[in-house]
């Protein structure tokens, strides 16, 4: 038997249900929706989550499809899907929660006595992390931007997470994420591999759903949960990310696409006022790869415009 939250799932069975976090003003139970497929043979528990940011859709659909398709008879271990972690942010069609306006991916491990997002994070740490062996967290560039397909392996946890990180299949490995409070952190701190996979933006695209589905299947093979050899690339590129913010507000004109190589000094974007006068130019601070670009044309002072990736070297599996 496998147990997580309110669910107990026998070998060979599927289940779905909600880990409760609170009651909405409509009197409806809010919480973490789970889909579980328990394999007929022993193996690890892989959890795949999406919707930590409510305006990132591709991963949510990818999880539903993989969980619907995976056959418990051919599965070693258990696959846990959390298609939409942050339902109040999804309802708001926004990155942050409509209830308390917090960014869920900056506040882990949360606080059981805090506002809704803090309670949600604390519930994940208390009830999900102990019940899983590995975590794959799916994201996109969100409504505001578009990101190159890449995998984030947290700096300091390379030994733990690089294996599934390479199996995610993307050439770019972002070593870092200096910011804290992500859903990865409590999982890694518990000694369990956790990665984030990024692709696309806030506009739902079938090609990005497919990318996420392929990543999940390859990680299942890597963990020996399904048959077949995981496919790995010959080489991967390790990058670090630098966020560039603009001092000037205005209308953004972009000149680089996510994944594009750039040389130091290349014009990545410029910001104009309503008369067409250039207010600011954004140039590549070093040679590297453009990881994320802003897609929303409105730029307010201090907004993120681009994330540059500085190449740190190659990783050979
Ligand atoms: Zn995100």
CATH number of residue 96's parent domain: 3.40.630.10
* Mean pLDDT, the chain cut into blocks of 10 residues (317 residues total): 98 98 96 98 98 97 98 97 98 96 97 98 98 98 95 93 97 84 96 97 94 98 98 95 90 95 93 97 92 95 93 89
Q: What is the pLDDT of residue 243?
A: 86
Residue 233 domain-assigned (yes or no): no
Q: How far is CA 31 from CA 18, 22, 56, 140, 194, in A?
A: 6, 7, 18, 22, 22
Domain count, the chain: 2
Q: What is the pLDDT of residue 165?
A: 98
**152 and 117 share one domain:** yes
Do 230 and 218 meet the contact criterion of CB atoms below 8 Å apart?
A: yes
Distance 148 CA to ligand 1 centre (A): 13
Q: How far is CA 305 from CA 3, 67, 253, in A?
A: 44, 36, 10
Distance 5 CA to ligand 1 centre (A): 24
Distance 53 CA to ligand 1 centre (A): 5
CATH number of residue 265's parent domain: 2.40.50.100
Distance 292 CA to ligand 1 centre (A): 12
Distance of CA 40 to the CA centre of its chain: 29
Distance 56 CA to ligand 1 centre (A): 6
**114 and 63 share one domain:** yes
Q: What is the pLDDT of residue 226?
A: 98
Distance 89 CA to ligand 1 centre (A): 11
Q: What is the pLDDT of residue 176?
A: 75
Q: How many CB atoms lie within 10 A of CB 16?
A: 14
Instruction: Give the CB-side neighbour count of residue 191, counting CA atoms within 13 A.
Output: 1
**195 and 303 share one domain:** no
Distance 142 CA to ligand 1 centre (A): 6
Distance 52 CA to ligand 1 centre (A): 6
Distance 135 CA to ligand 1 centre (A): 15
Distance 40 CA to ligand 1 centre (A): 33
Domain coverage including residue 294 = 240-315
The enclosing H or E element of 267 equals strand 267-272
**123 and 269 share one domain:** no
Do 58 and 98 meet the contact criterion of CB atoms below 8 Å apart?
A: no
Residue where a domain stops, chosen among 180, 196, 222: 222
Distance 95 CA to ligand 1 centre (A): 7
Distance 61 CA to ligand 1 centre (A): 15
Distance 137 CA to ligand 1 centre (A): 9
Instruction: Give the CB-side neighbour count of residue 156, counting CA atoms within 13 A.
Output: 10
Q: Reduced to 3 states, what is the DSSP secondary structure of residue 34?
A: strand
**253 and 109 share one domain:** no
Distance CA 77, CA 197 (A): 22
Residue where a domain stops, chosen among 190, 222, 254: 222
Distance 192 CA to ligand 1 centre (A): 21
Residue 230 domain-assigned (yes or no): no
Distance 202 CA to ligand 1 centre (A): 10
52-61 pLDDT per residue, tens = 999 999 999 9
Distance 304 CA to ligand 1 centre (A): 14
Q: What is the pLDDT of residue 177?
A: 66
């Amino acid at each position: 038997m496998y147990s997580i939250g309110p669910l107990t799932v026998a070998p060979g069975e599927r289940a779905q249900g909600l880990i409760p976090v609170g009651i909405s003003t409509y009197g409806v139970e809010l919480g973490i929706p789970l889909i579980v497929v328990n394999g007929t043979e022993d193996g690890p528990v892989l959890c795949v989550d999406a919707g930590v940011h409510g305006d990132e859709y591709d991963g949510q659909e990818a999880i539903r499809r993989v969980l619907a398709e995976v056959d418990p008879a051919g599965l070693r271990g258990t696959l846990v899907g959390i298609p939409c972690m942050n339902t109040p942010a999804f309802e708001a069609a926004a990155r942050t929660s409509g209830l308390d306006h917090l960014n869920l991916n900056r506040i882990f491990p949360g606080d059981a006595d805090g506002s809704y997002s803090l309670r949600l994070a604390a519930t994940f740490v208390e009830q999900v992390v102990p019940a899983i062996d590995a975590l794959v967290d799916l994201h996109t560039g969100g409504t505001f931007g578009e990101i190159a397909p890449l995998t984030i392996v947290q700096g300091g946890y390379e030994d733990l997470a690089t294996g599934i990180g390479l199996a995610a299949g993307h050439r770019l490995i972002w070593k870092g994420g200096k910011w804290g409070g992500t859903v990865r952190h409590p999982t890694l701190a518990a000694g369990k591999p956790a990665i984030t996979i990024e692709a696309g933006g806030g506009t739902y695209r079938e090609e990005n759903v497919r990318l996420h589905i392929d990543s999940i299947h390859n990680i299942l093979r890597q963990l020996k949960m399904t048959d077949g050899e995981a496919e790995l690339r010959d080489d991967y590129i390790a990058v670090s990310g630098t966020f560039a913010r603009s001092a000037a507000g205005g209308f953004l004109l972009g000149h680089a696409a996510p994944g594009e190589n750039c040389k130091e000094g290349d014009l990545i974007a410029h910001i104009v006022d309503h008369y067409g006068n250039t207010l600011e130019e954004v140039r590549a601070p070093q040679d590297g790869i453009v990881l994320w670009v802003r897609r929303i044309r409105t730029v307010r002072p201090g907004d993120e415009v681009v994330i540059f990736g500085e190449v740190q070297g190659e990783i050979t599996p």
